[in-house]
Amino acid sequence: MSSVEVLENVYWVGAIDWNVRYFHGFTYSTHRGTTYNAYIIIDKKIALVDSVYGPFANEMMERIREIIDPSK
């Protein structure tokens, strides 16, 4: 899955974890997996809002690279 432009200059760059079944310990169960919702906002400055669970970091970085040079 690629990044998704949600609004002009706002992109979802998160990840989908189909394997997670319990969220916050056993407080919530998610039998269909979950998403890690991270967003890039591009304006005068660039902001990354939230991130993803560690094992999905490369996937998030690939999505960011589709949009901008991560070094920015």
Residue for token pair 């039998």: 31
Please count the other Cβ atoms lying within 10 Å of the Cβ belonging to residue 10.
15
Look at residue 34 in the predicted model and tell me its pLDDT.
Answer: 83
Look at residue 26 in the predicted model and tell me its pLDDT.
Answer: 65
Residues 64, 11: Cα–Cα separation, whole Å:
9
Phi, psi angles (nearest 5°) of residue 56:
-105, 10
Give yes or no for a contact between 60 and 35, defined as CB atoms under 8 angstroms apart: no
Question: How high is the mean pLDDT in each 10-residue block of the chain (72 residues)?
Answer: 93 91 69 88 96 94 94 85
Look at residue 33 in the predicted model and tell me its pLDDT.
Answer: 81
Specify the DSSP class assigned to residue 59.
H
Any idea where the domains of the chain sit in the sequence? Answer: 4-67
Look at residue 69 in the predicted model and tell me its pLDDT.
Answer: 93
